[in-house]
Structure formats: structure tokens, C-alpha cells
């Protein structure tokens, strides 16, 4: 038995959060893998409310330590402001779907109605996933660009020194620097960068190893660190980089047996795995290798506004049409850029 028009909105509100049935084949997505979906599932931080994400940076020491000259030595202690504040604005996102209360489907069985609602909700959420995959691997052009600050925003490329150095400076269009902290005035607020031309042990692998060593900072005195969990690195790149590395691994093993692609999706460098990013394959010809420490780089969402679904609302000037909105306040934030690196073809 179908639903009466005055029953439909309540049915939609009560059904959507509990839909578990119905299946279909999905051919809508462009890429074979969406890294954002995996990262947000594993790494998302729910931040308390406020106008932005905020974190503290200690920029230097006070230089109070010295070798004393002996008895009756004169104290030489001082106080200095050694702190800077990083701020990252929230980026608002929205998706949703619509229905007409007089659509034929609402006069069919409840199973059919549930299938329709699930499909429309899935379309809306898939649109958001597509958008955020692009956001993860791109950067806003300036302060007025409201897009989230993806990995290329925080990890700036620079191939001036092919061997590598801390040359990843201020993002283009952001004269005040990433998170409002300028790497011009604070050079230690830079990420490590390098350039390469060959995917082999003498070029790319050697430079990745050097990047890992140079970005492995360990404080001599323990302190409450900004970040989440232990340091955990992963590298992200294109198949144009991963496939030659797999062949290199195979060439070093005389015991491959019957598996002629034994190291497919298994190559690591220094114990750190590489993940193929289809979006980068299609959109970045420099074949970047992003070395991300997920202790300090995370997706954030605002508490109470993480994929918040609104009840059905009447569409303007369409009395029989209902809109369901899904809103999200989020951004990406790196609280220590010099623990990460990026290499790119030079």
C-alpha cells in the first residue's frame, strides 16, 4: 500500500538513517579508488565549535641555557615570546536530494520507496566524495577561495634543489602563509621538497630515503605535542611511479615463483608503503610523491556539523517538492609541515 502525501515527509525522516537494504551496481565514479573516503574514515578529527581550527607553534627557544663561569656567577635569564598561532578557517560544503510527494514511487510498496530513497541519498553522498577527492589533492588560490586546504596546499613543491631541502614555502596567493604563519619570517614552517627525473634506486629512491631522514624530528625534551597518535607515514603518488618501483622490486627477487607480479600493491620504501592516487594520475603530470605524517596532517570536521542531514523542507515556489540537505563544515590541517615532504619530476 502506498503512502498518503501527509505521511511521506515523516516516512523519509524516519527511514533515511536506518536504511540497510537494497543493492545495485555503481558505474558512476570516474576513479578506481577514492583516497579521501579512506582517510576521513580512519583519520577524521571532530573539533569543538568555533570560527576556525587553531593550534600553537613554538618558534624558538629563549637561549637561557649557558655554561656558567663558576661561583657567584651572575644570572642571565630572560623571557621572550616564542609562540605563534596557526588558524585554519572552516570550509562549508553541502549536498542533498529532492523528491515530489506525488511521485508515482510513493504509491508503490515501502520496499520500493526505500530503494528510491537510498539511491538518491547515495547519489548525494557520492557527489560529496567526488568533490572531496578533488579537494584533498588541490589547493585554494587565495584567501577568498573557500575550498578546503588540501595536501598540495600544505606540501608545496620546489625543485630548486634537486637533492632536497626545506624549500616548501608559502602557498601561492597566501602572502601570510599556511594557517596564517609565514615561512618567510619562520623558515622552519616549511616542508621538505626535492626533484627527480628517474624512478630508480640512484635517483628517486635515494631522495625518498633522504627525505625520510631529514623530516624525522625528535624533540630532546618530551612535551605535550600537537597531533594525534604516533608518527605514521604513508606516501601517495601516481601509477607512473609505482609500476616501475614494482618492477624494480621484482628484478631483485629470484624466487618469485609462479606469481609474475608478486609485488603489485606491496612496494615499500624504508618500511613506508606507497598508495596509488588515481586523481593525481589524471591531474598532475609532475608525478608527485607526497610523504604524509598522519600524526600532524588530518581532516577536521566541526562538531555538530559533520555531514548533518536536515529534515525534508518545502522547496521555494514548489509546494509539492521537498529538499533534504546534507551540510558539512570541514578542512584539512597540518600542524607541523616540516614532518612531511613532497617530491616531483624536475
- 69-85 per-position pLDDT tens digit: 788 778 877 766 668 89
Q: What's 60-112 look like in SS3?
A: CCCCCCCCCCCCCCCCCCCCCCCEEEEEEECEEEEEEEEEECCCHHHHCCHHH
List the domains of the chain with CATH numbers.
5-19+28-58+84-137+301-333 (3.30.2400), 151-218+225-298+334-345 (no CATH)
**pLDDT tier, 24 (very low <50, low <70, confident <90, very high otherwise):** low
Give the helix ranges, DSSP H, for the chain.
Answer: 5-15, 35-43, 110-136, 151-154, 206-214, 239-251, 278-283
Q: Model confidence over 268-325: pLDDT tens digits?
A: 999 999 999 999 999 999 999 999 999 999 999 999 999 999 888 989 999 888 899 9
Give the mean pLDDT of the chain: 88
Weakest-pLDDT range from 105-119, 188-202, 274-288: 105-119
Greater confidence (131 vs 72) lies with 131
Nearest to 332 by CA among 200, 182, 184, 136: 136
pTM: 0.87
Q: Would you call 335 exposed, middle or buried from its count of C-beta atoms within 10 A (0-12, 13-18, 19+)?
A: buried
Distance CA 233, CA 141 (A): 27
> Is the pLDDT at 1 greater than 50, yes or no?
no
- CB neighbours of 120 closer than 8 A, spacing ≥ 6? 97, 99
> Is the pLDDT at 20 greater than 60, yes or no?
no
Q: Rounded mean pLDDT of 229-234?
A: 86
Confidence (pLDDT) at 323: 92
Q: Would you say 191 and 337 are in contact if contact means Cβ atoms under 8 Å apart?
A: yes
Q: Rounded mean pLDDT of 76-98?
A: 86
Strand partners, 275: 236
Weakest-pLDDT range from 62-71, 207-216, 243-252: 62-71
Weakest-pLDDT range from 84-88, 159-163, 187-191, 238-242: 84-88
- CB neighbours of 45 closer than 8 A, spacing ≥ 6? 228, 298, 299, 300, 301
Q: Rounded mean pLDDT of 12-26?
A: 62
Amino acid at each position: 500500500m502506498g503512502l498518503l502525501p501527509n505521511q511521506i515527509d515523516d516516512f523519509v525522516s524516519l527511514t533515511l538513517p536506518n536504511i540497510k537494504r537494497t543493492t545495485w551496481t555503481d558505474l558512476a565514479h570516474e576513479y578506481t579508488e577514492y583516497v579521501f573516503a579512506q582517510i576521513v574514515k580512519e583519520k577524521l578529527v571532530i573539533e569543538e565549535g568555533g570560527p576556525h581550527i587553531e593550534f600553537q607553534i613554538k618558534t624558538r627557544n629563549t637561549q637561557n641555557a649557558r655554561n656558567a663561569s663558576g661561583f657567584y656567577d651572575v644570572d642571565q635569564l630572560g623571557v621572550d615570546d616564542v609562540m605563534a598561532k596557526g588558524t585554519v578557517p572552516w570550509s562549508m560544503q553541502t549536498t542533498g536530494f529532492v523528491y515530489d510527494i506525488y511521485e508515482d514511487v510513493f504509491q508503490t510498496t515501502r520496499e520500493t520507496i526505500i530503494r528510491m530513497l537510498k539511491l538518491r541519498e547515495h547519489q548525494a553522498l557520492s557527489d560529496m566524495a567526488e568533490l572531496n577527492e578533488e579537494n584533498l589533492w588541490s589547493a585554494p588560490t587565495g584567501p577568498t577561495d573557500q575550498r578546503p586546504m588540501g595536501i598540495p596546499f600544505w606540501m608545496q613543491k620546489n625543485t630548486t634543489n634537486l637533492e632536497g631541502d626545506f624549500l616548501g614555502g608559502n602557498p601561492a596567493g597566501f602572502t601570510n602563509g599556511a594557517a596564517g604563519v609565514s615561512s618567510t619570517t619562520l623558515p622552519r614552517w616549511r616542508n621538505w621538497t626535492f626533484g627527480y627525473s628517474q624512478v630508480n634506486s640512484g635517483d628517486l629512491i635515494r631522495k625518498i630515503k633522504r627525505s625520510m631522514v631529514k623530516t624525522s624530528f625528535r624533540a630532546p625534551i618530551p612535551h605535550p605535542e600537537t597531533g594525534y597518535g604516533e608518527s605514521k607515514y604513508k606516501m601517495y603518488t601516481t601509477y607512473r611511479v609505482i609500476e616501475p618501483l614494482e618492477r624494480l622490486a621484482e628484478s631483485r627477487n629470484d624466487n618469485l615463483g609462479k606469481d609474475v607480479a608478486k609485488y603489485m600493491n606491496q612496494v615499500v620504501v624504508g618500511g613506508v608503503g606507497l598508495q596509488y592516487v588515481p586523481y593525481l594520475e589524471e591531474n598532475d603530470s609532475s608525478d608527485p610523491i607526497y610523504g604524509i605524517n598522519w600524526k600532524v596532517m588530518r581532516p577536521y570536521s566541526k562538531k555538530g556539523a559533520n555531514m548533518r542531514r536536515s529534515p525534508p523542507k518545502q522547496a521555494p515556489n514548489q509546494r509539492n517538492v521537498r529538499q533534504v540537505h546534507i551540510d558539512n563544515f570541514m578542512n584539512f590541517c597540518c600542524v607541523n609541515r616540516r614532518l612531511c615532504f613532497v617530491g616531483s619530476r624536475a
